[in-house]
Chains A and B, each alone.
Chain A
Amino acid sequence: MGIMKAKESIDNLQELYLLSFQGLLGLVRKPFYLKDTIEQMDYAGAGSFFIVLLVSLFIGMALSLQLSAELSPLGLKMYIGRVVGVSIIREIGPVLTAVVFAGRVGSGIASELGSMILGHQVDTLRVFGVDPIKKLVTPRIVSSIVMLPVLTVIGDAVSLFGGYLIAVFVGHQSGAVYWSSIREVFNFENVLSGFVKPFVFGYLIACISCYTGLSTRGGAIGLRRTTTRAVVVSFITIVAADFILTRILLYVLGFSV
């Protein structure tokens, strides 16, 4: 039983790799589904805008509040901006936006493709001679790779603004000091570190969600399982990939650990 389970997991992983590769290959092989890609971008980007805005604002505020509570008694509240900036730009912003994106867009992709499988719509595409990977997977990969970094930049900006509100109105710090600290951490290394991650996360979320969606079996219960699996696997993959990317980026950018 254990061996069968392990074999099944390896098979699934192989199929996921294959789908990820074929999905990318769709970018260089005709036909290109531009309209589908734009629709997906609208769903993934514009549709996620307000939720990313809200979550980022509150996270920035909460982080600033925690730091105010810790640093003020030590007389170090001038560092709030610096710590908030580094945390948000390098780590919390990309991961948080990716998690929100996986919860909203990833689950949407998985359930949409899953219901297309159960309703024989994917079979219909194949009968019509349309490659479902090019038609369904590639536009979703492209939209995720493009829109997640955009959302991350917006989320980072809003989080920093949330941090500013707390630092100034609760921590009674000077706004100029806060923004000047942010400017100090806004260097090439930090920005690159925070900007590489969303591309990788977007690609992973899209591939995992498409794969789980297209492997749906077994009616409504199967669809529930698919959606849950897409979100859970995406979350775990995001945090694991974040750790690996952080290690690589710290090494490449010359930070000593």
Chain B
Amino acid sequence: MIAQIFQVLRKELLIEWRDRSRVAGVFFFGLAVLLMVAFATPQSTVLPKIAGGTLWLGLMLASTRSMDQSYAVEHEHGAMEGLLLWPVDPVAIYYGKAIANTLILAAVAIVLMPLLIAVYGVEVKGDPLLLVGVLAFGCAALAAPGTLYGLISSQARGSSVLLPLLIFPLVVPAILAASNATTKILEGDPMQQAPAWLGVIVIFDAVHWTVMGMVYGRILED
């Protein structure tokens, strides 16, 4: 199983590497959100306070693009049938794709961080390692429902409306936790609240990564 997941992951990343437009698209979408929120904020003194939340807002919106693309590649080239014929457990397909999506989002997040720091005038006053953890688990939280719903919406009409609507309510707890944790870490976290928030994200991830994996097989069959 692990080997299969690895195979799927390798395929996903290889496709991504050969044509980097997807990662670029995700990155620029996220960047656009960051910049536009900064432009739209009348008082720049407010910016440091909303930096954490805006980062996650940007990542969340950008993730829908990433999920869309993840399946668009398969549909465009008629590779969907090929995917189904592959002697790989559907669950492995899910985890492979989800991990790939996580890595892409995390890469985008890491590149966005210095830009966030520059544009919003914040510093990482808290624990940087904790920040990395928040980013990693937070991106995983976005990737889990996205990979599942991406499959559904890629085959349905009106996917661009459907996908965000399906994903957003589901990731609210994760976004809440990630935004709060990031903001606390940026500000210095005097009361050590960030680890608790990270705990929330981890629980979210644990629940969703298991449940989604279990359910994915049913959807792929159809």
Q: Do A and B originate from a single complex?
A: no
Measured CB to CB, the residues of B under 8 A from A are none
Measured CB to CB, the residues of A under 8 A from B are none
